[in-house]
């Protein structure tokens, strides 16, 4: 029966992911950036496990001590250790970044995929209209409104960010899904009789991961920067400390000529944002389907 059997192709056993990893590992800057990000993550993890920065709230010194062996970055206006506070804030930044990035990306993926797969239908029209409305509201006003509506909730800031950050992802995913839904393997799935949610989950969304990963990293960085501004404005982190709260605190100090608090918070944030952006760019290059496909 197999008169025309073909010989097997050369065993190229790497998946698409493996190729992307290989591509990424060739990128020197990307690898350095990844190492820096992992360093920050380790600092945050130590806080979560209670290994260090446990005394970020304690008055361990006197007002405005300069850097010393006991207080690496000195102390703030009421005598708290700036280093401990900055490290603790790193974990807060990761918490905010991860929660917002994951939730906003998941929401954007789901709604964007639904809009794209049913593009032209009433569902798509409603979603597009909704996105347009959300985008028309000035961002800080929106967060302030959410904070007000959620009263005491410590999650007000995150909810505000998630509710707006998903839109960019949704628009990109919608566009990609509109392309994918006409592609032949999706049509083949319809010809088999699979229901739409299964087709979206199994055949469409997995092929948008390059977008989702990049969007999630953008949301991560965006959330960290936004936290700083919102906390500075007093509508961000309520309990504890964060880079934003430290900078807010430092305004009085800077006027008095004491810069440690301000520099510690802003430089640490700057380092993480830079490293993460560089990492995200390298990731995008590595995942570019034209290079991977």
Partner 1 sequence: MVTLPPGAGTGPLLDVRGLRTYFPVRGGLLHRVVAQVRAVDDVSFTLDQGTTLGLVGESGCGKSTLGRTVLRLRPATAGQILFDGTDLARLSPRELEPWRRRMQLVFQDPYASLSPRRTVGQTLREPLDHHGIGTPTSRRDRVAELLDVVGLSPAVLDRYPHEFSGGQRQRVGIARALAVDPDLIVADEPVSALDVSVQSQVLNLIRRLQVERGIAFLFISHDLAVVQHVSDQVGVMYLGRLVELGPARRVYSTPRHPYTQALLAAVPRVEGSPADRVLLQGEVPSPLRPPPGCAFHARCPRVMEVCRHEAPVLKDVDGPGAGHRVACHLY
Partner 2 sequence: MAAAPPVLRVRNLTVEFATDAGIVRAVDDVSFDVAGDETVALVGESGCGKTVTGLSLLRLVPEPPGRYAGGSIELAGRDLLALPGEALPAIRGRDVAMIFQEPMTALNPVFTIGTQMADVLRQHRGLSRSKARAEAAAMLAAVNIPDPDRRLDDYPHQLSGGMRQRVMIAMALSCRPRLLVADEPTTALDVTTQAQVLAEFRRLQQEFRTAVILVTHDLGVVAETCTRAIVMYCGSIVESGPTAELFRHPRHPYTRGLLESVPRVRAERLPELPVIPGRVPDPGRLPAGCRFADRCSRVQSRCRDARPPLQPVGAGVPVSVACFNPW
- Contacting positions for partner 1 (CB under 8 A): 1-2, 4-6, 8-9, 11-13, 15-16, 183-185, 187-194, 202-203, 206-207, 293
Output the CA angle 280-282-284, nearest 5 degrees.
Answer: 70
206 binds, options partner 1, partner 2, none, Cβ within 5 to 8 A by partner type: partner 1
Q: Which is nearer to partner 2, 22 or 202 (CB)?
A: 22
Which is closer to partner 1, CB of 50 or CB of 193?
Answer: 193
Of 9 and 193, which CB lies nearer to partner 2 in the complex structure?
A: 9
Rg (CA), the chain: 24
Minimal distance, residue 19 CB to partner 1, in Å = 9
Quote the tokens at residue 122: 């009433």
CB-based contacts of 227, cutoff 8 Å, min separation 6? 92, 93, 96, 157, 236, 237, 242, 243, 244
Q: How many CA atoms lie within 13 A of 185 on its CB side?
A: 10
For residue 203, the 8-state DSSP code is: I
Residue 61: C-alpha distances to residues 75, 81, 136, 201, 246 (Å): 7, 7, 48, 56, 17
Is residue 141 close enough to count as binding partner 2 by CB under 8 A?
Answer: no
Q: Which of 148, 167, 149, 147 is nearest to 158 (CA)?
A: 147
Residue 22 CB, shortest distance to partner 2, in Å, is 8
Question: From CA 29, how far away is CA 174, in angstroms rounded?
Answer: 31
Per partner kind, with CB cut-offs from 5 to 8 A, the member of partner 1, partner 2, none near residue 152 is: none
**Binding flag, residue 136, partner 2 (CB under 8 A):** no
Shorter beta-carbon distance to partner 1: residue 67 or 128: 128
Q: Please tell me whether residue 9 binds partner 2 under the rule CB under 8 A.
A: yes
Q: Looking only at residues 19 through 48 of this chain, which bind partner 2 when binding is defined by CB under 8 A?
A: 19, 22
Considering the complex, state which of residue 173 and residue 282 has its C-beta at the smaller distance from partner 2. Answer: 282
Asked if 7 interacts with partner 2 (CB under 8 A), we say: yes
**What is the C-alpha to C-alpha distance for residues 103 and 221, in angstroms, rounded to an integer?**
14
**From the CB of 107, what's the least distance to partner 1, in Å?**
22
The item of partner 1, partner 2, none sharing an interface with residue 133, based on CB under 5 to 8 Å by kind, is: none
At its nearest, how many Å lie between partner 2 and the CB of residue 142?
39
Strands (E), 131-191: none
Residues forming contacts to partner 2 in the complex (CB under 8 A) are 4, 6-7, 9-10, 19, 22
């Amino acid at each position: 029966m197999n008169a025309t059997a073909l010989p097997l192709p050369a065993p190229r056993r790497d998946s698409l992911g493996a190729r992307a990893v290989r591509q990424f590992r060739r990128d020197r800057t990307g690898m350095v950036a990844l190492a820096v990000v992992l360093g920050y993550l380790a600092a945050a993890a130590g806080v979560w496990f209670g290994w260090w920065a446990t005394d970020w709230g304690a008055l361990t010194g006197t007002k405005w001590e300069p850097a010393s062996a006991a207080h690496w970055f000195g102390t703030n206006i009421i005598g708290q250790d700036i280093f401990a506070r900055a490290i603790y804030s790193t974990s807060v930044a990761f918490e905010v970044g991860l929660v917002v990035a994951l939730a906003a990306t998941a929401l954007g993926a789901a709604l964007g995929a639904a809009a794209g797969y049913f593009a032209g239908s009433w569902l798509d029209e409603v979603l597009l209209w909704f996105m347009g409305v959300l985008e028309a509201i000035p961002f800080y006003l929106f967060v302030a409104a959410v904070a007000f509506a959620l009263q005491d909730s410590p999650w007000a800031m995150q909810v505000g960010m998630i509710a707006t950050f998903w839109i960019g992802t949704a628009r990109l995913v919608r566009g990609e899904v509109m392309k994918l839904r006409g592609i032949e393997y999706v049509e083949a799935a319809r010809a088999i009789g699979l229901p739409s949610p299964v087709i979206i989950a199994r055949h469409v969304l997995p092929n948008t991961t390059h977008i989702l990963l990049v969007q999630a990293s953008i949301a991560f960085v965006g959330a960290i920067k936004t936290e700083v501004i919102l906390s500075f404005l007093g509508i961000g982190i309520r309990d504890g400390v964060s880079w934003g709260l430290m900078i807010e605190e430092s305004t009085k100090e800077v006027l008095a000529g004491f810069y440690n608090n301000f520099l510690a918070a802003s430089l640490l944030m700057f380092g993480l944002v830079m490293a993460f952006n560089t990492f995200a760019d390298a990731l995008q290059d590595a995942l570019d389907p034209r290079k991977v496909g």
